[in-house]
């Protein structure tokens, strides 16, 4: 069965059968669960670890779990983590070397991860983010070995969004709340009257897994109801990006006075880059033992908000907060399309919720658009 064919329903009690089918094939299942006051991405032992009955309240600089009146498992919006944490981990060893008796280092590349991941509960913005990371880390002349090793052979279970957060703006980025492609199975959660999931298959692998799970045909009105929930999610989204094309706006804003305004609020902490599901920048660190004969090179996430990020012999290129915020938002919205043929922003809203100063990327883009319009008029 292919995407667009007749959909079926899985009862909530049978999600465990879906987990079982994935486990039997050797997948390590990662997905949302409640931990430390947030919905995090973690390895899941079973469907019972999903965040049933938890909702989330978000606003600029605000994220709080909230108990729901129902038992919905996917009525929460993006948390502090994303599948980036799994496929492009914060720390990874690239290679190790030991010095032979003649002094020559014998370098051994890090073997690829042996785990095969099933990404459970990827929202449409997450699917878009995976598409961005695929392009950035594997679409050029040199596929990145850590990401490639983890991404190849992943199984993706998407869940469409029926309840966006106040910080979400995927509809204006064209990435959600409907799941269009990039999944093996796509679920839409229906809580009322029976808690169940409408399922579409997106690949032969998805169909194969689904064949091992109890399903029943979806009545036409259920399919319509599910689509209506997702349509409503799009309609209720309050935040949006300016309508105009962003790359020319950003390129025209390089010398904008607005950067001073942002810098007066921005702490240059880098939280936005850590929670962003597409921010991919890394640095490397060489580690040795006490003898110096054993050497390892590790790569870590890095952030364009650190002064050290732009270090060139003699000093950093971007020392001011203005220039560092400009770099981040310009890359995300302006230069990413030139570099990779797609936007670096998927509209998940994480950077808005997790900014300790409540800086809102949609509001900053709107301010740039407004100040340019003002300049043109004056």
Which of 33, 282, 343, 362 is the binder for another protein (CB under 8 A)? 282
Which of 16, 311, 370, 373 is the binder for another protein (CB under 8 A)? 311
Site for another protein in 318-337 (CB under 8 A): 318-320, 322-323, 327, 330-331, 334-335
Q: Does 140 bind another protein (CB under 8 A)?
A: yes
The verdict on whether omega for the bond into residue 362 sits within 30 degrees of 0, i.e. cis, is no
Q: Does 341 bind another protein (CB under 8 A)?
A: no
Site for another protein in 8-37 (CB under 8 A): none
Rounded to an integer, what distance in angstroms lies between the CA atom of residue 307 and that of residue 305?
Answer: 6
**Most distant CA atoms of the chain, gap in Å:** 75
Q: Does 107 bind another protein (CB under 8 A)?
A: yes
Residue whose C-alpha is closest to residue 259's, from 127, 164, 364? 364
Which of 5, 43, 152, 212 is the binder for another protein (CB under 8 A)? 152
Q: Does 153 bind another protein (CB under 8 A)?
A: yes
Q: Are 304 and 328 in contact (CB under 8 A)?
A: yes
- Parallel, antiparallel, or unpaired: how do β-strands 294-301 and 282-288 relate? antiparallel
Residue whose C-alpha is closest to residue 280's, from 144, 149, 119? 144
Which of 69, 255, 374, 376 is the binder for another protein (CB under 8 A)? 255
* All residues at 6 or more sequence positions from 209 whose CB lies less than 8 Å from its CB, including other chains: 18, 21, 22, 25, 155, 184, 185
The verdict on whether omega for the bond into residue 193 sits within 30 degrees of 0, i.e. cis, is yes
Query: Could you give the residue ranges of the DSSP H alpha helices within the chain?
Result: 15-24, 84-87, 124-138, 145-151, 170-173, 204-210, 220-236, 246-252, 258-263, 271-275, 321-330, 336-340, 350-353, 361-377
Question: Quick one: 72 or 304, whose CB is closer to another protein?
Answer: 304
Stretch that binds another protein, among 146-154, 235-243, 264-272, 354-362 (CB under 8 A): 146-154
Q: How many CA atoms lie within 13 A of 50 on its CB side?
A: 23
| Nearest distance from C-beta of residue 207 to another protein, angstroms | 14
Question: Quick one: 237 or 246, whose CB is closer to another protein?
Answer: 246
Q: How big is the site for another protein, counted in residues (CB under 8 A)?
A: 69
Query: Residue numbers of the site for another protein (CB under 8 A)?
Result: 94-95, 97, 99, 103-105, 107, 109, 112, 130, 134, 136-138, 140-145, 147-149, 151-156, 182-184, 203, 251, 254-255, 280-286, 288, 292, 295, 299, 302, 304, 309-314, 317-320, 322-323, 327, 330-331, 334-335, 338-339
């Amino acid at each position: 069965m292919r995407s667009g064919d007749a959909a079926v329903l899985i009862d909530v009690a049978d999600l465990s059968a879906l987990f079982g089918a994935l486990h039997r094939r050797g997948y390590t299942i990662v997905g949302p669960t409640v931990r430390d006051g947030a919905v995090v991405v973690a390895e899941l032992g079973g469907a019972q670890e999903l965040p049933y009955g938890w909702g989330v309240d978000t606003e600029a600089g605000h994220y709080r779990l909230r108990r729901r009146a129902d038992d919905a498992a996917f009525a929460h919006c993006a948390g502090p983590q994303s599948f980036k944490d799994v496929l492009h981990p914060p720390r990874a060893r690239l290679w190790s070397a030991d010095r032979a008796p003649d002094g020559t280092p014998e370098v051994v590349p890090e073997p690829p991860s042996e785990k095969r991941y099933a990404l459970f509960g990827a929202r449409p913005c997450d699917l878009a983010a995976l598409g961005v990371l695929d392009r950035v880390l594997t679409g050029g002349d040199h596929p990145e070995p850590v990401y490639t090793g983890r991404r190849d052979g992943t199984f993706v279970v998407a869940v469409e969004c029926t309840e966006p957060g106040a910080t979400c703006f995927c509809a204006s980025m064209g990435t959600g709340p409907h799941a269009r492609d990039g999944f093996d199975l796509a679920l839409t959660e229906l809580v009322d009257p029976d808690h169940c999931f409408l399922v579409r298959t997106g690949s032969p692998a998805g169909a194969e897994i689904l064949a091992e799970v109890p399903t029943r045909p979806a009545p036409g009105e259920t399919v319509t109801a599910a689509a209506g929930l997702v349509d409503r999610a799009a309609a209720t989204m309050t935040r949006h990006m300016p309508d105009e094309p962003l790359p020319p706006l950003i390129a025209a804003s390089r010398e904008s006075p607005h950067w001073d305004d942002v810098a007066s609020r921005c702490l240059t902490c880098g939280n936005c880059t850590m929670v962003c599901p597409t921010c991919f920048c890394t640095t490397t660190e060489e580690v040795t033992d006490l003898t110096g004969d054993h050497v390892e090179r590790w790569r870590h996430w890095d952030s364009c908000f650190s002064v050290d990020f732009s270090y060139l012999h003699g000093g950093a290129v971007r020392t001011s907060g203005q220039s560092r915020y400009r770099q981040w938002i310009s890359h995300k919205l302006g230069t990413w399309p030139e570099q990779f043929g797609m936007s670096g922003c998927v509209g998940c809203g994480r950077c808005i919720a997790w900014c300790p100063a409540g800086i809102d990327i949609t509001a900053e883009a709107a301010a740039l658009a407004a100040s340019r319009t003002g300049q043109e008029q004056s």
